Structure 1
Amino acid sequence: MITPGIFRRSLRRALRWRVLLLWWAALAVSGAIAVAPVFAFLRGQLDRSTAARDAVAWMDGPTLLELVRQVRESGAEQGILVALAVALATQLLWAPFVAAAMVASAHGDESLPFSRLLASAGELYGRMLRTAVAGLIPLGAGAAVAAGALKLAAAHAADRAITETDAGRALIVAGCAAALVIFIAALVVDAARAQFAADPVRRSALAALWTGSKMVWRLPLRAAGIGAVGMVLGVGGALVLMAIRLQIPQRGVPTLALAWLLAQGAQLAVGFGRAIRIEGLAELSRADAAEASRRASRRLPPGGTTQGTEVVHSTTLSALEPPRSGAPR
């Protein structure tokens, strides 16, 4: 299998705008629900303030602490928490649908129109929901291992570290190990989702999780490379865009619009990285299955028949057969 070709195809297919638009819409709906009470609270606090313009442009520490105090005193805290809970529930319902759209888009080379994309996503919704539930197994195991590594590092820093540098080094190593474990667990879950793109007739989420785990085990470097490319371009791109956004003083409509566009670009970058992983892992799974089929065909003896299936001709049995139509008697 040619890994550079898989990378190029996954990057090209991940740019399908309909899938990215669904990703953005899912986050926009949940985000609007979450920020609605916050926006109403800030309007009540800052609309008549002479320092509102500067506070919006650069939120300093004292202003932030005063707003937090006003949230508690005005009773807006409960409404904000309810909105956050509703936004989280909405996102949990949206997430399998968006994942199903990415899987449906990864079925083939052609870009699906909206009608077919939505229909395919609806058809795959149940499978993606079951895969998300099954994915709690590797994610939970990875979280437990990561927490254990961090706990051991903290204990080492408290008991055996001689200097503050040693303690910091131990925590950094444990943090990197924990991040690697979580990365592998998330990669296995995405590999399970990709199995439905490589084999559309598959229905079992647990079987897909097992097959995806075996593929990651057999091809660790290629699978990790696809996951790393998706993370660098997705999460890394989002961090760069948000870092640029934080440097913009939002004092007018143009700067506010630019900051908003950068934030939306960061959301799309995360979706782009997610699509890269699913597209690439689906392509890798298809290539792995084709390679296994070629290896199996090479093991067959000449003639394409396996041992025990050869046809044996018997002269005695042939003589006992009735004569064929038109044959001399």
Structure 2
Amino acid sequence: MTDFHGLSVLARGAVRALHWRALLLWWASLSLVALVAALPLYALLDAQLSHAIDAPRYAHALSLLALGEVVGGAAKDRGTVWGVLAALWGTALLWPWLTGVMVAAVRLGRGVRLFALAAEGMREYGRQLRLMLWSLLPLAPFVAAGVWLVHVARERRFDAVLESTVHWTERGALLAAVLLCLVPYLLTELTRARIAARDDSRSVVVHWWRALKLYLRRPLATWALSLAILVLGALLIAALGWLRIAASGAGWGAWWLALGVTQLITLAGGWLRLARLQVLAQLVDDDATRRAIEAEAWRYDEAA
């Protein structure tokens, strides 16, 4: 049998995800599109708050009234709206390439050079774009099933005797709906991991179908590894988010600290995405090894 243990797989995935070239491309790309949205917003904030009577107080914290005025002004300002739309459009265009970079980082390891990794991401662009579009097809029935479960739970409230029963039924239905909606996403991530680990076809449908069969063979391992690395990444991002809130304040020192923590949050998001692919790629390799061992044993029994 193969040496496949959950904690060791998570540890290897977390360490292998510290791929500085892939994380650098992730950070630089997302920082660029964030800058496109931030510059018009910065100009708007400067115009609204810098010359206000309460500007020194706003430097430490915004009141709800001031925040409401800023949000209302941003919604009416064309430059801010166009900046946000341009950033969203740029993110949508870059996303298949960034996904391809992550897939290439899993496949090629840490020895690949920066420009070679970027070029490999471009080579994967078309396939990752097709996979994104294909993943929308199985999403519809799972979302419909989740909506139906929530609807049935709400209809049952009229037949329930205890109010606590109603709450538990609705919460259970909502949890089941969320898990159902996560299944297509998990299958898509498993497909990407299979492309990284076993690039034996250019067809995303073939890879998706084989990933589906792997999921049906080992659903518990797929869910356990995915949720474990997700919780680990969420805790890291939450800790950095708390540090970012605590770093708010006046002065250049607080500004640079807040900026640095924000960049760490961006890098943590990239690390989480790469770590999930690394973990699932190990599952793909282990499943292929197990099937090869079983096939060899079956041939040996037939020969005997």
Contact residue 138 and residue 188 of structure 1 kept, 8 A = no
Query: Where does residue 46 of structure 1 map in the other structure?
Result: 49
TM-score (norm 1): 0.82
Structure 1 residue 246: Cα displacement: 2.1
Instruction: Provide the rounded CA distance (Å) in 2 between the counterparts of 1:162 and 1:244.
Output: 46
Query: Where does residue 235 of structure 1 map in the other structure?
Result: 234
Stretches of structure 1 lacking an aligned partner (at least 5 in a row): 308-329
Structure 1 residue 99: Cα displacement: 1.0
Instruction: Provide the rounded CA distance (Å) in 2 between the counterparts of 1:140 and 1:239.
Output: 31
What SS does the aligned partner of 1:111 have?
Answer: coil
Structure 1 residue 166: Cα displacement: 5.2
- Residue 121 (1) aligns with residue 124 (2): no
Instruction: Provide the rounded CA distance (Å) in 1 between the counterparts of 2:252 and 2:167.
Output: 44
Query: Where does residue 214 of structure 2 map in the other structure?
Result: 215
Alignment map for 1:88-107 (pairs within 5 Å)? 88-107=88-107
What SS does the aligned partner of 2:202 have?
Answer: coil
What SS does the aligned partner of 1:57 have?
Answer: coil
What amino acid maps onto 1:98 in structure 2?
A: L
Tell me the alpha carbon deviations over residues 298-323 of structure 1, each in whole angstroms, 9 at most, x when there is no partner.
11147xx979xxxxxxxxxxxxxxxx
Question: Counting helix residues as a fraction of each chain, which structure ranks higher?
Answer: 2
Query: Where does residue 181 of structure 2 map in the other structure?
Result: 182
Alignment map for 1:81-230 (pairs within 5 Å)? 81-156=81-156, 159-160=158-159, 168-230=167-229
- Residue 19 (1) aligns with residue 18 (2): no
Instruction: Provide the rounded CA distance (Å) in 2 between the counterparts of 1:60 and 1:162.
Output: 45
Instruction: Provide the rounded CA distance (Å) in 2 between the counterparts of 1:247 and 1:34.
Output: 24
Instruction: Provide the rounded CA distance (Å) in 2 between the counterparts of 1:120 and 1:274.
Output: 18
What SS does the aligned partner of 1:107 have?
Answer: helix
What amino acid maps onto 1:186 in structure 2?
A: Y
- Residue 33 (1) aligns with residue 36 (2): yes
Instruction: Provide the rounded CA distance (Å) in 2 between the counterparts of 1:255 and 1:12.
Output: 31
Higher relative contact order (CA 8 A, sep 6+): 2
What amino acid maps onto 2:121 in structure 1?
A: A
- Residue 298 (1) aligns with residue 302 (2): no
Instruction: Provide the rounded CA distance (Å) in 2 between the counterparts of 1:57 and 1:142.
Output: 46
Which structure has the bigger radius of gyration?
1
Structure 1 residue 133: Cα displacement: 1.1
Structure 1 residue 121: Cα displacement: 1.2
RMSD, aligned α-carbons: 2.5
Question: Are the structure 2 counterparts of residues 174 and 93 from structure 1 closer, same or farther at C-alpha, using a change threshold of 3 Å?
Answer: same
Q: Which shifted more, 91-100 or 170-179? A: 170-179
Instruction: Provide the rounded CA distance (Å) in 2 between the counterparts of 1:150 and 1:168.
Output: 12
What amino acid maps onto 2:58 in structure 1?
A: A
Number of aligned residue pairs:
301
Structure 1 residue 240: Cα displacement: 2.4
Structure 1 residue 97: Cα displacement: 0.8
Query: Where does residue 5 of structure 2 map in the other structure?
Result: 3
Q: What percentage of aligned pairs have identical amino acids? A: 27
Structure 1 residue 52: Cα displacement: 2.3
Question: Are the structure 2 counterparts of residues 91 and 7 from structure 1 closer, same or farther at C-alpha, using a change threshold of 3 Å?
Answer: same
Instruction: Provide the rounded CA distance (Å) in 1 between the counterparts of 2:53 and 2:232.
Output: 42
